[in-house]
Amino acid sequence: MKRFAIKFYAIVALILPLVAWYNWKVSPQVSGALGVLDLVPYGQEYGLNVGNMVDEQKDSLCTSQIHDIDDIREFPVVTIGDSFSNQGLYSYPHFLGRDYGYKVGNIERNMFFAPVQDYLSLLNAGAFVPGQTVIVEIVEHYYVWRLAWLDFASTRYSELGPIKPGKYQKDVLSETARWVRLSIGYNNPVKKFKLDKDCFSHPTRSRQLHVYREEMSFLEIPDDLVTQALSNLERLQRMSAEKGVDMYFLICADKYDSYEPWVEGKHPVCHILDRIPDDDHIIVMTPYIRELVDSGVKDVYAINDGHASTIGAACCARVVAERIGH
């Protein structure tokens, strides 16, 4: 019994300091989507508005959120996409309305992982009218999968409506255990690389690149799937033109691919964009984001998030506005 008691108190003596350190030092500084996954104390002052391009106290959202299929027809410019399109004040649709004067309606959906299929289904359902400009956005590492698996006969689309944020419930003990596990690099959903120049304004992590591990899925995409995806994209463009819809396919840059030229050491190189045709109606953001990074602009993406900061979102809006040009 005495030996058990000694072991028990020894374990408690080891665990309590870890719990206390995590709860009072680490947890209050965890921020950003990547921070919540990785439990890294990036600091609460750092976020998607790190470029200070939005006045969070005074600015109003300059795009309307569409929650009813009948409202789609009211907007000359319609956006539909994944999480990159649904960041509110920090998204490119907001800057498209704020900085370029477009009347933009963003189709907000509770299930935003299949925006290309949803656009196709809505197109088949007659949701759009001739003359509308529609920007269909998908993030880079998903574009092949989403295009290759399109159902061209479907009229079923994801539920329209305000995106419901997940509810986070704090559990100090389980979070501490996860923090210890992640700290030793076990089964971490966040992958980390070193950069050869300062790409972020973070005071201690300016040369660190933190990305979702799933961004490396480009390593698993076979060549024949790329062929199918591009064939389906061409078909989708023809269908849109036949219905009088001016559809632009927007591929938002992966964070990893945006910073890959500055990653130190041996590392994977993404080639899934190499075969994208030169087409005015296909907008690939990766070269534009890299151009900003190369010019010395910091925080084009947020270090603690997988999304572009307001700097990157504003860049995307500029490119889209130049391309649609009306």
Q: What is the pLDDT of residues 254-308, one digit of tens each?
A: 999 999 999 999 999 999 999 999 999 999 999 999 999 999 999 999 999 999 9
CATH number at residue 166: 3.40.50
Task: Give the lowest-confidence range in 24-28, 107-111, 124-128, 129-133.
Answer: 24-28
Angle at 311 between CA 196 and CA 98, to 5 degrees: 170
Whether 23 maps to a domain, the answer reads no
Question: Is residue 318 in a domain?
Answer: yes
For 12, 120, 289, the CA distances from 226, given in Å and listed in that order, are 54, 19, 23
- Is 145 a member of any domain? yes
| 303 lies in some domain | yes
- At residue 15, the pLDDT reads 64
218-255 pLDDT per residue, tens:
999 999 999 999 999 999 999 999 999 999 999 999 99
Task: Look at residue 24 and tell me if it is in a domain.
Answer: no
Does residue 2 fall inside a structural domain? Answer: no
User: 146-162: string of b/e by CB count within 10 Å (b at 16+)?
Assistant: bbbebeeeeeebbebee
At residue 150 the predicted structure's pLDDT band, cuts being 50, 70 and 90, is very high
Q: Provide the domain count of the chain.
A: 1
Q: 229 lies in which domain range?
A: 33-171+188-324
The answer to whether position 59 is within a domain reads yes
Does residue 46 fall inside a structural domain? yes
CB 263 within 8 Å of CB 252:
no
pTM for the model: 0.92
At 60, the pLDDT band (50, 70, 90 cuts) reads very high
| pLDDT of 173 strictly over 90 | no
